[in-house]
Amino acid sequence: MIEALVLVSLLTLLVSRRLLELSLRTIAPPTLGKRFSPLRWAEAFIPSTPLLLDRVLKAAT
pLDDT tens digits, one per residue of 49-60: 788 778 877 887
Q: What does the domain layout of the chain look like in residue ranges?
A: 2-60
- H helical segments located in 1-61: 2-22, 30-35, 38-45, 49-60
Say what the pTM is: 0.59
Q: pLDDT digit string (tens) for 5-28? A: 788 888 888 888 888 888 777 776
Q: Is 60 helix (H, G, I), strand (E, B) or coil?
A: helix
Q: pLDDT digit string (tens) for 31-51? A: 666 677 778 878 877 887 788
**Amino acid at the residue 21:** E
